[in-house]
Structure 1
Amino acid sequence: MTVTRVLAQATVADLDRAERWYTALFGRGPDNRPMEGLLEWRLTDSAGVQVWREPERGGHSTVVLAVDDLDAVAAGLSAAGTAHDGPEPGGGARLLRLADPDGNRVVVTGP
């Protein structure tokens, strides 16, 4: 088996609220709305994040993102009004723990 693309997915109850939060996280709106109830951000040619409206499962997802400048991500989130506790050491790198409005865990790692 050869994997050619990976999409992380977060399930949410309120898609409009989630769109605002993930737009602040990624610094731009979704790249695609492939179907009703689904938003998609393309992060690289082979990776992305989908946010799916599924109220009964909302808040039970974890997304891990690796970035090249964790401090810039933290600063951008602060400027956008997204609460966080700042980068912390973890697992041989640093990480920024976030929770979207539904409680999905979003962990951003980087140097």
Structure 2
Amino acid sequence: MTITRMLAQMTVSELDTAVEWYTTLFSRQPDARPMAGLVEWHLSDTFGVQVWTEPDRAGCSTMVLDESDLDALVEHLDRAGLEHNGPRDATSSRILQLLDPDWNRVVFTGAFST
């Protein structure tokens, strides 16, 4: 088996609200709308994020994204008005946790500040 692409899926209750939030987070509109109730952001050639409408399962998703500049991300989030509690140290990196409108967890990891 050779896996060549990965899409993290976040399950939401209301697509328009989620699209607005993730558009703000990623600073751009979705790259694809493959079918009703599904949007995608292609963050590179080999990975991305799907936001899928399924109200009965909404709020039970988590994704972890490695960010090259966590401090710049914090500045972006502050300017965009997305709530967070700031980065905190973990064992081998810093992490920054966000909750989308359905309380799905988006975790960014990054290097320790120098």
TM-score, normalized by length of structure 1? 0.97
Q: Is there any run of 5+ residues in structure 2 with no aligned partner, and where?
A: none
**How far apart, in 2, do the equivalents of 1:57 and 1:19 lie?**
17
Q: CA offset at residue 91 of structure 1?
A: 3.2
Percent of residue pairs bearing the same amino acid type: 58
**Paired residue for 1:104?**
104
**Paired residue for 2:34?**
34
Aligned length: 111
**How far apart, in 2, do the equivalents of 1:75 and 1:94 lie?**
16
Cα root mean square deviation, aligned? 0.7
Amino acid at match of 2:94: R
1:17-56 paired onto structure 2 within 5 Å: 17-56=17-56
Q: CA offset at residue 2 of structure 1?
A: 1.1
**Paired residue for 2:82?**
82
**How far apart, in 2, do the equivalents of 1:101 and 1:38 lie?**
16
Q: Is there any run of 5+ residues in structure 1 with no aligned partner, and where?
A: none
TM-score, normalized by length of structure 2? 0.95
Q: CA offset at residue 49 of structure 1?
A: 0.2
Amino acid at match of 1:46: T
Runs of 4+ in 1 over 4 A off after TM superposition: none
